[in-house]
């Protein structure tokens, strides 16, 4: 299937919307259709994605404060942020444009008090990277930090509408591939004790519970499980990983690799 270049059409829509001929809405993401896997692309996140990623983070982790400064994290030298995305469908262009306007309006309304609390570099980044129409529809993302011989999964989250379609697993597979390429020895993470979907996903990929951080989450005082893989370059782990990756591809189809 081919898609039109959103360029001119989108510019017109943005102009129409800003002049009031159509109306913004903060719940537009709920009107989008979700993500058919066969159109999926895994790509590196860019600074232009940061507003969208912060929105997805708020949806994936409701009540979590403070919200991560994704625009700052995306600039970390040792960070790898990958998104699962697809091109806008033609009938979504207007929704996408309205979504961008609403997001920008939200951000501006959120203004003074919130900005005072943010660091200066975040403020500057926001000014430089004013939100515009997102390049594509993003279902979710994963972030890893490579520290010494470990890769740490700092975040993985999807929009609700895109869960249970193999996308979280696909992001984890791609994150693990980056960890392998970067020569990390193990991959580690923290997860809420009650977060069964995530724990099941991590167990499937060989993560084991190796410790506990008591009352780690400030919103409800919940404990975090520390989970770590065995050495990921070991023959046993690679065999396990490759089998799961093949099964995922057989079940959900092959997906384009990150550029």
Ligand X SMILES: CC(C)(COP(=O)(O)OP(=O)(O)OC[C@H]1O[C@@H](n2cnc3c(N)ncnc32)[C@H](O)[C@@H]1OP(=O)(O)O)[C@@H](O)C(=O)NCCC(=O)NCCS
Catalytic residue set? 190, 202
- Pick 43 or 165: Cβ nearer ligand X: 165
Q: How far is the CB of 196 from ligand X (least distance, A)?
A: 5
Asked if 198 is part of the footprint of ligand X (rule: CB under 6 A), the reply reads yes
Q: How far is the CB of 168 from ligand X (least distance, A)?
A: 2
Asked if 220 is part of the footprint of ligand X (rule: CB under 6 A), the reply reads no
Please give the Cα distance from 219 to 14 (Å, whole number): 38
- Pick 10 or 229: Cβ nearer ligand X: 229
Asked if 175 is part of the footprint of ligand X (rule: CB under 6 A), the reply reads no
Asked if 187 is part of the footprint of ligand X (rule: CB under 6 A), the reply reads no
Asked if 83 is part of the footprint of ligand X (rule: CB under 6 A), the reply reads no
Q: How far is the CB of 195 from ligand X (least distance, A)?
A: 5
51-80: which residues touch ligand X (CB under 6 A)?
60
Q: How far is the CB of 96 from ligand X (least distance, A)?
A: 21
Q: Which stretch binds ligand X (CB under 6 A): 67-75, 94-102, 108-116, 197-205?
A: 197-205
Asked if 12 is part of the footprint of ligand X (rule: CB under 6 A), the reply reads no
Which residues contact ligand X by CB under 6 A? Answer: 60, 140, 156-158, 163-169, 191, 195-198, 200-201, 204
């Amino acid at each position: 299937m081919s898609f039109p270049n959103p360029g001119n059409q989108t510019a017109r829509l943005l102009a129409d919307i800003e002049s009031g001929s159509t109306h913004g809405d903060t719940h537009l993401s709920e009107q989008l259709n979700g993500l058919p896997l066969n159109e999926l692309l895994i790509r590196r996140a860019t600074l232009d994605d940061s507003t969208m990623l912060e929105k997805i983070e708020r949806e994936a982790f409701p009540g979590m404060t403070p919200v991560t400064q994704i625009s700052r994290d995306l600039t970390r030298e040792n960070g790898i942020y990958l998104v699962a995305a697809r091109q806008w469908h033609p009938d979504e262009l207007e929704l996408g444009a309205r979504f961008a306007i609403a997001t920008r309006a939200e951000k501006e309304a959120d203004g003074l008090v919130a900005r005072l609390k943010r660091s200066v570099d975040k403020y500057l980044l926001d000014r430089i990277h004013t939100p515009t129409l997102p390049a594509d529809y993003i279902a979710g993302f994963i972030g890893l930090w490579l520290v010494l011989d470990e890769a740490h999964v700092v975040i993985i989250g999807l929009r609700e509408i895109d869960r249970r379609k193999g996308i979280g697993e696909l992001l984890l597979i791609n994150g693990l591939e980056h960890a392998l390429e970067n020569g990390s020895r193990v991959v580690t993470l923290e997860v809420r004790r009650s977060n069964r979907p995530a724990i099941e996903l991590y167990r499937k990929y060989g993560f084991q519970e190796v410790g506990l951080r008591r009352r780690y989450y400030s919103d409800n005082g919940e404990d975090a499980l520390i989970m770590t893989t065995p050495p990921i370059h070991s023959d046993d782990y690679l065999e396990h990983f490759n089998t799961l990756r093949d099964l995922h591809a057989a079940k959900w189809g092959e997906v384009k690799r990150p550029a």
